Amino acid sequence: MIIKLESSDIKKATSIIVDHFKSNEARINDLNVFPVPDGDTGTNMLLTLKSIKKELAKLKNNDLQAMVEAVSFGGLMGARGNSGVILAQILKGFFDELKKSDSFNLDILENALNSARVLAYGSVQNPTEGTMLTIIKDLYNFIKTYNENNNENVFLSEFIDNIISETEKSLVRTTFLLPVLKEANVVDAGAQGILEILVGLKKALMDLGKIDSSLKRSTGEKNLSNTDKEKEQTVSPEIQQHAYDDRELKDLNVSSDIKNIYCTEFIITGQRINLLRLREDIETFGDSAMVVGNESLVKVHVHTNHPHRVLGRALREGVMHEIQINNMVDQHMEKMKSVPVAEKQAATYGLISVSNGEGLEEIFKSLGVDIVIKGGQTMNPSTYEIVKAIKKLETEKIIIFPNNKNIVLTANQAAKIARKDVTVIPTKTIPQGINAVLNFNRDLVMDDNLKNMEQAYKRIKSGEVTVAVRDANLLVGEIKKGQFIGLFDGKIKVISDNLIGATIELIKDMVKEDDSIISFYAGKDSSEAENEDIKNEIKKYYPDIEIEFYKGDQPFYNYIFSVE
């Protein structure tokens, strides 16, 4: 019997695959090499699969074309983290090829895997072997070689066992393709996830009673069919794009609390500006204060009831520029009016940033970011959420600051889906994002802004101190769960049983002779006493360096800081 899957079978199979993957989620997460708290691979892939299941459940009919579109859309919009995005691209490439034909056979399977391979590799700026990318490439090569040497139909049970066996071999090879995996003696977590999806697929075929079917070698009888047996239509990319735009999207949790009347912002230029003293004085005039910069250029933001006092204090330091004072009560009342008012002309730029923590959110907003999406290392936002944020902005151009290496791919995917002029600045840390935004100028053209922001975020050094969430054995040494670890630009450099010790050792590793300022963003679990201890210890080694502490409120990371 030639395999024939009805559209209703796809829904059932997806549900079985999701359930199987969920039962292996924790095991896949445990394969993560790095002990830092982040959006785990198994969780990100599971959320992507659940999004597909949810989209399929929304369909009111079992039209095959609609189901194929739902799988692609659900994967794209639900993708979280690098693993979720790559998985979404694999599925999209696979189903893009499947929907071109009414039938399903070994030739079409080869073409579909090739499409998945090309799209997945193309989604990553620097593809790395020893990951889930390698698995897809190896599977394609296996099917290609099989088709070149066989002209007969094949029993599905035997064939899928061969595919799973080949995937297991490829999975073992990942350990030796990536040095960090070899050191930890584990396989790649994303690659393991692909294997579990295939095992789940086998289970689904067994439960559906399809495992004893066979696959044809070449095009012939229709295998994938609509319930009404009508021939599916190929949807153009333009029509697909409209389908994406018309989908209902949930509201984002974008806060906009206003505590004081006057939002006061300006820039000061001068010589030998005492940044710490200026910041202390500005904070006495109100709240939501942000004073950042250096001894010759400072940007100030504060919510106050006495803007004249703020300006008077600032004039003592130098010349003021780009002064803005807005009555936030009036702005709020204007928004609440039910009487229609003339629409404001759209601003040239709209800025979107990703961060997790009330303090960090306030900092980004004070620097001019329009929307802050809640997310970060342990909570990667989905493509769906970023697209929604893009659609909220009525601007000609939109700039996104992901501020995390696991969110850059998702942001790029959202930029492709949204029919707007969107640019993603590939910031991988919070300090990089803040420095990039600080160097953004709404009066400049995009090319100049991109150049300035790129130079700004690349020259800054980022440090993070957190607690290990699992045991690990890396090149830096053996790490035990619960120890403090220090990361320099994402690489683990310090292991310590003491928070202060880990922070100081990391600072020593990062600070060079020409560095002049360290800006700390304290996490929600950090205390004022710890801040003061760190400051005093740093001063022992670097008496001339300026040290700033800001309230970040981020979870899991006791301190995030920049050195420049």
pLDDT band at 113 (very low <50, low <70, confident <90, very high): very high
d(CA 336, CA 330) in angstroms, rounded, equals 10
Lowest mean pLDDT among 137-146, 293-302, 443-452, 534-543: 293-302
Confidence at residue 244, expressed as pLDDT on a 0 to 100 scale = 40
Lowest mean pLDDT among 8-12, 89-93, 249-253, 353-357: 249-253
φ/ψ of 275, rounded to 5, equals: -65, -45
φ/ψ of 274, rounded to 5, equals: -85, 95
Number of neighbours of residue 429 by Cβ within 10 angstroms: 25
pLDDT band at 303 (very low <50, low <70, confident <90, very high): confident
Structural domains in the chain plus CATH codes: 5-246 (1.25.40.340), 251-341 (3.30.70), 343-459 (3.40.50.510), 461-563 (3.30.1180)
Residue 227 has pLDDT above 60, yes or no: no
Confidence at residue 418, expressed as pLDDT on a 0 to 100 scale = 83
d(CA 67, CA 54) in angstroms, rounded, equals 11
Answer yes or no: are the C-beta atoms of 261 and 329 closer than 8 Å. yes
pLDDT band at 288 (very low <50, low <70, confident <90, very high): low
Number of neighbours of residue 214 by Cβ within 10 angstroms: 16
> Do strands 397-401 and 421-424 pair parallel, antiparallel, or not at all (unpaired)?
parallel
Residue 33 has pLDDT above 80, yes or no: no
Residue 246 has pLDDT above 80, yes or no: no
User: What size, in residues, is the chain?
Assistant: 564
Residue 561 bridge partners (DSSP): 463, 520
pLDDT band at 235 (very low <50, low <70, confident <90, very high): very low
- Alpha helices by DSSP H, listed for 247-405, are 275-283, 307-315, 328-336, 358-366, 383-392
Mean residue pLDDT across the chain: 82
Confidence at residue 332, expressed as pLDDT on a 0 to 100 scale = 53
Helix (H) or strand (E) holding 263: strand 262-269
Confidence at residue 338, expressed as pLDDT on a 0 to 100 scale = 43
Is the model more confident about 9 or about 391?
391
Query: If you average pLDDT over residues 176-199, what whole number do you get?
Result: 86
Retrieve residue 383's tokens: 């493509």
Confidence at residue 165, expressed as pLDDT on a 0 to 100 scale = 93
Return the ∠ at Cα 78 (arms to 384 and 256), rounded to 5°. 35
Task: Report the percent of the chain where pLDDT is more than 90.
Answer: 41
H helix count then E strand count, the chain: 20, 20
Residue 232 has pLDDT above 80, yes or no: no
pLDDT in tens, 320-348: 987 888 886 665 555 444 444 444 444 58
pLDDT band at 228 (very low <50, low <70, confident <90, very high): very low
Lowest mean pLDDT among 90-94, 178-182, 405-409: 178-182
